[in-house]
A and B are shown apart, each in its own frame.
Chain A
């Protein structure tokens, strides 16, 4: 099998050389727009993701303005947003649209497409020793379907009745009935259409990642020698391929209910004085379909961040990742369990308590592989020799956030406690820390670490350090106190709490959180500036392996061309984590095992 792969690699290589010699002129369009080079596609995903992240982040600033300052008016908002901010005050329908789009954008467009799309595309061929993806054509289509989804979602922001406003989980009947909410009119159809395109993109990408990892590894790159990033991206792709189609089916059924008069999710409804004819449908069915994707989705977001952080922690500790096989095993366990816990989002829907008990057990079981990962990361740092590159700081921040947010999962997974905490700010704090901010930290770590490979330049370090410190301090200041609001039962997705005797005492805290959120958002703009500025003006990379890492991507030229390696694809002789072995700082994967090398 491996010789076959090698042959295949050699073929591509020969073709590549010929290509180089005979038609050297790639047009602008084939190089930057409809590119089939995985590295360019990865950058397309990344930059689209960054644009979406800015939009999604801006939305959170807008709704935090309302939450923090419910009694103030901001005349400038009316100038910018018109009737959505009448009298300088964000209107409820706009508030709910902002909340919904913030969730949709960040969960799907940024932390799924922006994260997996970027790093799976970039790292898989480079780290397993392949010229490109198994199907560069599908890979290109994957981006362009994502682009199409982005255009549709973006256009929904400008329709008369506004974008979807029923929460990112789009539960029917709210999302199914135009009479129930402004946002459930044309905005919702666009949302569903956009997500359908998005799912196509995700499937094309995922299938490609899986087949590339399984078939195109270079000679000697057995599965157990792959870097943990690749393992994480592999499981991520498997999760996506198996779960996204279920959301697609849910979305299609919902489109039918909305437009064709079916009753999959509708029954016994009187709305606006109108008695609807639909009977026999179940709104809960949609929740099952949604969360069958929705929960694996959490791990689709988190696993790449785990993989990259593992890699970066090891490289910068100058130590092997502790317990490589346990790390792979726990990724595998998490991936399996991810499919078996979806109903823990539904403990208060009137779920059969007996069924609920299984979901409690399986949910809390996830804490075991998670604990293994955390302790293995800690042990990796133990007796290390740590270099605090910006990437390393973000990876450490990732571990810290993963611990903080993961532990609150033990509260929410336990159904008896979840009844009190469900849909309160405790949940908001939990998933923002463990899935939102932690994954962002993993993504930032990845960007800082692989930027030199992507653009052959470094990001500015000082800006990076400012970015890290403001972001981690800010993230904790924003989300930590929210646990207390949740323990007081303060519900999420409220536009204004001032009329509630039980929740109005948090007005001061809400204002504080909003203030910090704005500061953190502005700091992210600093990062975005650093990112784009450094593409053109950053310090140039002068060595092929600036971090002293073992993996294959650092054996390519400083600016790898289409095909990645100019000559033969290197052969691999060892795992990716021989740091500090036999007194040597690092040993590239391409170095044959020496005659006197110790076993370990």
Chain B
């Protein structure tokens, strides 16, 4: 319906322009469009401001980054927004202002100006200098972010699968037991090799991972099936989980979950792990949670966790007795599975 009306108007305008004289109609159109272009600029810039006003609060800037590195990333984001923002406004203003100012006029003649080497050199070098600054800045942080984790970092293994996250703590011995994906079966969902003594005290939890505040945490990231991605927007970190090729990342959380509830003003605040690499139908529901807590709370929580070995090989009825479990020959365990 609207379609037909618009079409009829458009058709009529063609006849009108024939009646009025095409040249006259064209010039009138030209004026209207020149005016619209400058109006678009003005309302566009107001819109940009308005949009910023409305959505700035919903970005992660006001609550700040929750990791040391993240705060530097935010600073860098601000600087980049500043530099590009100035370029954006200047170039858009020039574009639409020129378009408006130099619209066709009968008394105006275009100025023949085919080239000017000085000007061209100017806008080759100035952007190059700005970019150098940004590159130097960026690479400095890039190397810092991707550097090896500090020695005292808490190591946690993260495994992605369709569609969820698994976490493994190394347990008291501080060493993660070996894995072989071919051992994956039934309750041994991660394919842990229990013939490796280091695996016996490892702790396996799903979906929710606990970490202490203020200490570096290192994730060793795996995938069991397709590529996933550990996305930690609050910490400004992200790393793919690639089957067959373990990756790592580390960060130091600055605020506990409780503290972030206050900082963000959201009583339901929670550090979420989003899968940031398309991984299939359930991609959007592949959610994990990080609980950042004080060191003492963390240790308390960790002490209540049973080792994966004991949960797999012992029926809850017989009670968790780790000595009994370790007494069973691990190789036989693997066979049984």
In the complex, whether B60 has a CB less than 8 A from a CB of chain A is yes
> Contacting chain A: which of B210-218, B266-274, B327-335?
B266-274
Give the contacts of A502-542 with B (CB-CB under 8 A).
502-503, 505-506, 509, 525-526, 529-530, 539
Do B58 and A364 touch across chains, with their CB atoms under 8 A apart? no
> Given A361-B135, A372-B120, A579-B110, are A400 and B51 neighbors across the interface (CB < 8 Å)?
no
Q: What is the bound-complex CA distance between A386 and B91, given in angstroms?
A: 18
CA distance A412 to B213 in the complex (A): 30
Q: What bracket does the count of chain B residues touching chain A fall in?
A: 35 or more
A484 to B51: give the CA distance in the assembly, Å.
Answer: 9
CB pair B119 A379 closer than 8 Å = yes
Q: Is the CB–CB distance between A322 and B114 below 8 Å?
A: yes
Tell me if B98 and A382 are in contact (CB < 8 A): yes
Contacts of A484 in B (CB 8 A): 51-52, 55-56, 58-59
| One of B122-130, B307-315, B316-324 at the interface | B122-130
Across the interface, do A173 and B225 meet the contact criterion of CB distance under 8 Å?
A: yes
B244 touches A414 (CB 8 A): no
Bound CA span A580–B37, Å: 24
Whether B269 contacts A501 by the Cβ 8 Å rule is yes
Given contacts A267-B243, A411-B84, A499-B285, contact A173 B227 (CB under 8 A): yes
Partner of A416, one of B11, B61, B142: B142
Interface residues on A, range: 35 or more
Contact (A372, B102) CB under 8 Å given A361-B135, A500-B272: no
Residues of A contacting B242 with CB < 8 Å? 283-284, 349-350
Instruction: Report the bound CA distance from A350 to B215 in whole Å.
Output: 23
Contact A420 B243 (CB under 8 A): no
Q: Counting CB contacts under 8 A, is A393 at the interface?
A: yes
Residues of A close to B181: CB separation below 8 A: 268-270, 275
Chain B positions 250-299 with a Cβ under 8 Å from a chain A Cβ:
266, 268-270, 272, 274-285, 287
Among candidates B10, B244, B275, B287, residue contacting A268 with C-beta atoms closer than 8 Å: B244
Structural contact, A495 and B283, CB atoms closer than 8 A: yes
A590 to B272 Cα, complex, angstroms: 66
Known contacts: A319-B112, A460-B10. The answer to whether A501 contacts B268 by CB under 8 A is yes
- Asked if A371 lies at the interface with its beta carbon under 8 angstroms from chain B, I say yes
Q: Does B42 contact A (CB under 8 A)?
A: no
A33 within 8 A of B: no
Q: Is A52 an interface residue (CB 8 A)?
A: no
> Which of B1-9, B150-158, B168-176, B200-208 forms part of the interface with chain A?
B1-9
**CA A582 to CA B109, docked complex, whole Å:** 11
Q: Which of A283, A319, A410 contacts B80 (CB 8 A)?
A: A410
Instruction: Kindly state whether residue A493 has any CB partner on chain B within 8 Å.
Output: yes
Q: Interface with B: A38-46, A176-184, A298-306, which one? A: A176-184
Please tell me which one of the listed residues A93, A472, A500 contacts residue B281 in the complex, with CB atoms under 8 A apart: A93
Q: Given the known A-B contacts A268-B243, A376-B120, A388-B33, are A502 and B115 also in contact in the complex, defined by CB atoms under 8 Å?
A: no
Give Cα A393–Cα B68 distance, bound, in whole angstroms. Answer: 47
Confirm or deny: B209 has a beta carbon within 8 angstroms of a beta carbon on chain A. Answer: no
- Is the CB–CB distance between A393 and B145 below 8 Å? no
0/1 string, A57-96, CB within 8 A of B gives 1: 0000000000000000000000000000000000011001
User: Which residues on the A side are within 8 Å of B105 (C-beta)?
Assistant: 385
Query: What residues on A are CB-neighbors of B285 within 8 Å?
Result: 496, 499
- Do residues B111 and A319 form an inter-chain contact, with CB atoms below 8 A? yes
Query: Which residues of A does B touch, CB under 8 Å?
Result: 92-93, 96, 165-167, 171-174, 177, 180-182, 266-271, 275, 279-284, 317-326, 348-350, 353, 356-357, 360-361, 364-365, 367-368, 371-372, 374-379, 381-388, 393, 396, 399-400, 403-404, 407-408, 410-411, 414-417, 419-420, 422-424, 460-463, 465-466, 469, 472-473, 476, 480-481, 484, 487-489, 491, 493-497, 499-503, 505-506, 509, 525-526, 529-530, 539, 577, 579-583, 585, 600
A-B contact pairs, 12 of them (CB 8 A): A96-B278, A275-B182, A279-B244, A322-B113, A375-B120, A387-B104, A396-B37, A410-B134, A420-B236, A420-B238, A466-B6, A488-B60
6 more contacts with CB within 8 A, not counting A360-B142, A491-B231, are: A283-B244, A348-B239, A360-B138, A379-B113, A419-B236, A484-B58
